[in-house]
Structure 1
Amino acid sequence: MLAVAVVVLVAVVAILVPILTHQSAGGSGQAVPQGFASESTATGADGRTRTVEVRTPDGKPADLARVAPGSELVVTGTGFDASIGIYVGVCAIPAEPGRKPSPCLGGIPKGAERGKAAKEGAQPSVWITDDWAWKAFASHGYADAAKGAFTARVLVPEASSDGLDCRKVACAITTRADHTAAQDRVQDMQLPIAFAQ
């Protein structure tokens, strides 16, 4: 019984210590675009140049000025730090630059809390990580860790939920660091959206 307790304790420490000791790498360097651009590139404080792009499932640039709940958007990125997991979804644009994009629509990826996150199909929010301790709970890993590349299929959620109404508050397709680096803004990239009336 003692051996099991020691193994559990070691696993908990191995998971919690990186979260508690994570040092922010700074900001992403992105100025949130004015208007509705389907692509943005920025060089972060960590020296990485990140690009995020939003397309329709047939590969055309997405019209982010008129997104409709229930439609699918394909969000791709390159240059991200694959050692830091990210969430991809629709979040409020912070009033002050350098703040965490929050709150977000869509909640956590379906099934993530049970270690059975949906791996197929579009989801209102997507969790991407290569971290051994969290990979089973995430939607996906990075497609190419060396290039910091990912693809996320986002199912546009309803414009209002969880106390956020994107018809009244400026929102964006957002990437941000996951809970293991929650105060790190280096992975934050946003492309403004507007919901179709």
Structure 2
Amino acid sequence: MRRLAGLVAVLLLAVVPVGAAHAASGPSGQEVTVSRSQGLNPAGTPVTVRGRGFDLNKGIYVVFCVNKGAGQLPSPCLGGVDMQGDSGSSAWISSNPPSYGEGIAKPFTKVDGKGSFEVQLTIKAKDQFTNCLDQKVAPLGCVVGTRADHTRTADRSADVLIPVTFAGAGATTAPPTASPSTTQPPAISSNNSGVEKKPAGKLASTGGLPTVFLLAALALLVVGVVLIFATRRRKTAKEPTA
């Protein structure tokens, strides 16, 4: 029985991933994954964000921002949007940035004619500009993902957003689906924390590995192992002794 218990423990570790990545898809077929998005340390958690399928001609920010709802620009962004390349709280990805962004913006990696990237961010629950744990400030919580850079602020086609939760805090509300609307391009805020206007677009749906399927697979494996050991024990009991 001890060997059976040990085998079940190994199977549990193999079937249920610890800190599994979370993914979301964008309106133009983009895909973004974040190494961790639930139960983060409010004081700061390093995460890896990967993306693919982006338009090589459109620069993006990889950011952590207040969720403003479907079709609306996520803002303000904690730590501001990084136009200097050294904040660690966001990243600027562009293969054709303005002249002042050359050497600062990280170019896309070209894969099958589309843009891919991988960056590391440090996500914190609050900064001097906003607080993701304050329901009055962020009633829909905060999201990590991508959005168009400041050269196309009103363009929602690059929005791929994944809700984030923090340890000891309630779960954030997943962004609802809404129809696109039209609005004027907003200006960048003076504190560089994002913008407050509400441009048009479609918020990406979120995804991840369903827990129910993991539990079902684990249950089947455990039952199979128990049956194998029970069958072997019956055979052993029936064998004549010398």
- The interval holding the TM-score normalised by the smaller chain is 0.5 to 0.7
- 4+ residue segments displaced more than 6 Å: none
Are residues 162 and 144 of structure 1, via their aligned partners in 2, closer, same or farther at CA, if it must alter by over 3 Å?
A: farther
| CA offsets 1:13-43 (integer angstroms, 9 cap, x no match) | xxxxxxxxxxxxxxxxxxxxxxx9710123x
- Structure 1, gaps ≥5 residues long: 1-35, 56-61
| CA offsets 1:112-157 (integer angstroms, 9 cap, x no match) | 1xxxx34xxx811111111152542534111226222111111113
SS, match of residue 78 in structure 1? strand
1:74 to 2:36 alignment: no
Correspondence for 1:108: 81
Q: Which amino acid aligns with 2:45?
A: S
SS, match of residue 138 in structure 1? coil
Are residues 106 and 137 of structure 1, via their aligned partners in 2, closer, same or farther at CA, if it must alter by over 3 Å?
A: farther
More helix by percentage: 2
Structure (1 or 2) with the larger CA radius of gyration: 2
Note the C-alpha offset of 1:87.
0.7
Correspondence for 1:51: 31
Correspondence for 1:98: 71
Q: How does 1:37-186 map to 2 (within 5 A)?
A: 38-42=22-26, 44=27, 48-55=28-35, 62=36, 64-68=37-41, 69-95=43-69, 97-109=70-82, 112=84, 117-118=85-86, 123-134=88-99, 135-136=101-102, 138-144=104-110, 146-157=113-124, 159-168=125-134, 169=138, 170-186=141-157
Q: TM-score, normalised by structure 2?
A: 0.53
Answer yes or no: is the 8 Å Cα contact 1:175–1:189 preserved in 2.
yes
- Structure 2, gaps ≥5 residues long: 1-19, 169-242
Seq. identity, %: 30
1:187 to 2:158 alignment: yes
Correspondence for 1:12: none
Are residues 176 and 162 of structure 1, via their aligned partners in 2, closer, same or farther at CA, if it must alter by over 3 Å?
A: farther
| CA offsets 1:32-56 (integer angstroms, 9 cap, x no match) | xxxx9710123x2xxx31100011x
Correspondence for 1:25: none
The alignment of Structure 1 onto Structure 2 pairs a total of residues equal to 141
Q: TM-score, normalised by structure 1?
A: 0.64
Aligned-pair Cα RMSD in Å = 2.3
